[in-house]
Amino acid sequence: MLYRVTDEELAQPYNFGMGVDFVEENKLNMVGMCLDRESYLLGQMGLMRRALGYEGMKYDMNADISY
């Protein structure tokens, strides 16, 4: 459960193979990279759906929930 992780744990080094000087390879940045990758893939799924003639991604809103 990510909400229980401390700042100290997230700052721990974690090698994820970027190999660039301007990206610190730690657990926090790894989580960020994973989230970014997932959002990219969701966008690609929407594009694929449209290319195949289906409706693209949509988000249903429930008016009964206070967002």
Q: pLDDT by residue (tens digit) across 11-22?
A: 999 998 888 899
The one-letter amino acid code at 7 reads D
Residue with tokens 């997230």: 10
pTM of the model: 0.69
pLDDT tens sequence across 25-47: 999 999 999 999 999 998 899 89
Give the per-residue pLDDT at 60: 81
Domain ranges of the chain: 2-51
How far, CA to CA in Å, does 50 sit from each of 24, 33, 45? 37, 26, 9
Q: Cβ distance 29 to 20 under 8 Å?
A: no
